[in-house]
Amino acid sequence: MAIVNPLTIFKSRVIRHLKRRLQPFYIKAAHLFLEKKAYHAWILTNEPDTAALAAQRAYRFGNMPYFAVVCVVNPEFIEHIPDIIASLKGQTYVRWRLYLLSDSTEHVRKYLGIEENIRLIDSSLPPDEIISAVDGDFIVAIGQNTILCPFALYEITASINTSPTGKLFYSDEDALIGGKRASPHFKPDSSPDTLRSFNYIGPFMAITRELFVSEQPLSAESGYALALKYTQEAGAVIHIRKVLFHTAGKEEGSPTTTTAKKALSCHLTKLGVAAEVEELRPGLFNVIYKITDAPRVSIIIPNKDNAELLAKCVKSIIYKTAAYDNYEIVIVENGSIRKDTFTLYDTLKRDKRIRIINWQGEFNYARVNNYGALESGGAILLFLNNDIEAVNADWLVNMLRHAVRKDVGAVGAKLYYPDGTIQHGGIVVGVGGVAVEYHKGFDGSSAGYFNRLAIVHNVAAVTGACLMLRRELFDKVNGFDESYALAYNDVDLCLRLMELGYPAVWTPFSQLIHSESRTRGYEVTQAQRQRLNEESVRFTMRWRHILDEGDPYYNPNLSRGRGDFTPG
């Protein structure tokens, strides 16, 4: 028998410990490296070369708008102004004039010198006088650290010509770090809940003169308010899916948390929305919607044996749902044969909040859940897998705050694997074949791509492992499509709701652990593989237009092979 050196055992344990502790760091470093490399390749592949820029200069659109580029200048931080001017002079579309608004015009004039196509305006003048002084068909608002790509105004003009009903145009962006382009922000299309969490539209937008006159968007605060208002109007906000500007360093003149919070609060008040705005950190917010009538929530859990998993699931609901108590648990029994399962049922039925109902027949996730919904009594339905465990005491109420909203469809939660990594951050459609989870496998403490794992935001779909919605909506779309026996029924439900104007919302403030596929296992048998393939084909045929056009909340410039937001 070999004798093992105690020092060797100690070293082995230390190495294993360090690997576990450093794994998130290495994963993050690897992701940043891949992103940097991928973005460099993306620039070379997707942006116009010298010949294409020359062709842009020669091109004539049917509608050739004149742009008034407006920048509010803080005299103490004007080092980027020469770069802004240079980027404007390099535009392939030349119908523009720059208006610099400052309460210290003499200081700015001395700093700039004499420029032919620039006007200085005293920002302390009355708004009507400022509006009269700014001449242009469209107003392009930029931050004082916003450096335009040479094709920026050309692409805005192209979008104006193809989207004549558009009122507000915005684009993707990146950052200049050490003079090099990095950290691309490939943004979603119009996304009201994401915008209520942070101003993803940013410091560069083009608006019609009519909006400029009526809304007077002369500051970053009012620009945010403008974006908030018009994301509610279909066809008014147009996303140009191209990087049209760079952010150079920190903009000291950007809106403070107070002014941004004020703009968001005023927006909600104007809409008659009962809510409070919570500051998460500077520039990031959580809108806490008030629940007025405390509706009953039916938590529907399909189950076949796996008594241990089900017991942990139900226990976590009962003991970790302190913030909301008007709920029932409906367990849909489907073909269990183990004695310990029925012993557990006998124990659970002692709680008046828990009911066991029986479904006879071959397992079909959609059909079983539709039956559970039919037999339940709540105005709110929560479909939950039996391999889920609640983490935070307010998980249920935080989902409910969104489910009761009349403009929201399905609501999903932040799900972790048992090891603490991310299992579900929402679902992106058209990536990884049909659909994949966002941020899958990321470290649980990660904020995600531009804080996506830390904020409430819109997604195309959420997993049926933890999906909440109003019963009236569920009935409106006739529940889950039972032709999807196991896969894609949740995604299909969310897309049908989105099609009717009820987008899905994902919240990080409802956290649960998901031992994924422990109940039914993965698709391993030949029959299961065939079933999955048939359902994939059916889904692809039904939702071809979304698969072709791209998920509106996942930018098409991102990888179509993974849901990790790598440029692709």
pLDDT tens for residues 272-288? 999 999 999 999 999 99
Report helix, strand or coil for 167. coil
* pLDDT tens column, 93-115: 999 999 999 887 776 776 666 67
- Nearest Cα residue to 543 out of 496, 504, 506: 496
| Tokens of residue 182, six digits | 């990095």
d(CA 499, CA 495): 6
Residues 450, 566: contact at Cβ < 8 Å? no
Question: Can you identify the CATH homologous superfamily of domain 297-549?
Answer: Spore Coat Polysaccharide Biosynthesis Protein SpsA; Chain A (3.90.550.10)
Instruction: For 2-54, give the DSSP string.
Output: PPPPHHHHHHHHHHHHHHHHHHHHHHHHHHHHHHHHHHHHHHHHHS--HHHHH
Residue 517 confidence (pLDDT): 57
What does the pLDDT average to over 207-233? 82
Type of residue numbered 204: F
Cβ atoms of 87 and 150 closer than 8 Å: yes
63-278 is classed CATH 3.90.550.10: yes
Residue 557 has, within 13 A of its CA and on its CB side, a CA count of 27
Confidence class of residue 421 from pLDDT cuts 50, 70 and 90? Answer: very high
Instruction: Name the amino acid, one letter, at 7.
Output: L
User: What mean pLDDT is predicted for residues 363-380?
Assistant: 96
Say whether pLDDT at 317 is over 80.
yes
HEC secondary structure over 295-344: CCEEEEEEECCCHHHHHHHHHHHHHCCCCCCCEEEEEEECCCCCHHHHHH
- Beta-carbon contacts of residue 154 (< 8 Å; ≥ 6 apart): 56, 59, 91, 92, 93
The residues that bridge with 206 in the sheet, in sequence order, are 140, 169
pLDDT value of residue 32: 52
- pLDDT grade, residue 222 (50/70/90)? confident
- pLDDT at residue 322, rounded to an integer: 87
Q: What predicted TM-score, i.e. pTM, was given to this entire model? A: 0.90
pLDDT of residue 243: 98
Using the predicted structure, report yes or no on whether residue 528 has a pLDDT greater than 80: no
The mean-pLDDT minimum among 390-404, 457-471, 526-540 falls in 526-540
% of residues, the chain, pLDDT over 90:
71
Which residue from 239, 241, 257, 198 is spatially nearest to 449, judged by alpha carbons?
198
User: Which residue has 């241990």 as its token pair?
Assistant: 308
Matching fold, domains 63-278 and 297-549: yes
In the three-class reduction of DSSP (H, G, I as helix; E, B as strand; rest coil), residue 243 is classed as strand
Cβ-based burial of 326 (10 A; exposed 0-12, middle 13-18, buried ≥19)? middle
Domain ranges in the chain are: 63-278, 297-549
Residue 363: pLDDT band (50, 70, 90) is confident
Is residue 23 pLDDT above 60, yes or no? no
Return d(Cα 568, Cα 557) in angstroms, integer: 6
HEC profile of 415-475:
EECCCCCEEECCEEECCCCCEEECCCCCCCCCCCHHHHHHCCEEECECCCCEEEEEHHHHH
Q: What percent of the chain has pLDDT over 70?
A: 88
Q: Which of 24-38, 145-159, 224-238 has the highest mean pLDDT?
A: 145-159
Q: Which of 69, 241, 60 is nearest to 161 (CA)?
A: 60
Q: What is the pLDDT of residue 35?
A: 66
List Cα–Cα distances, 457 to 200, 285, 427, in angstroms.
11, 11, 12
**What's the pLDDT tens digit per position in 45-65?**
999 999 999 999 999 999 999
CA dist list (Å): 449 to 185, 422, 454: 9, 13, 9
pLDDT exceeds cutoff 80 at 220: no
Residue 26's pLDDT is what?
Answer: 46
Taking the C-alpha atoms of residue 468 and residue 490, their distance in angstroms, rounded to an integer, is 11
Q: What contacts 109, CB < 8 A, 6 or more positions away? A: 120
> Is the pLDDT at 510 greater than 80, yes or no?
yes
With 70 as the cut, is the pLDDT of residue 8 above it? no
Q: Per-residue pLDDT for 428 more than 80?
A: yes
- pLDDT at residue 521 in the model: 44
| Residue 34: pLDDT over 60 | no
Question: Which residues touch 546 (CB under 8 Å, ≥6 apart)?
Answer: 429, 430, 460, 495
Q: Cα separations (Å) of 334 from 302, 313, 519, 524, 563?
A: 7, 17, 12, 21, 33
C-alpha span between 438 and 424 (Å, rounded): 6
**How far apart are the C-alpha atoms of 72 and 505, rounded to whole Å?**
35
Q: Which residues does residue 299 pair with via DSSP β-bridges, in sequence order?
A: 329, 382
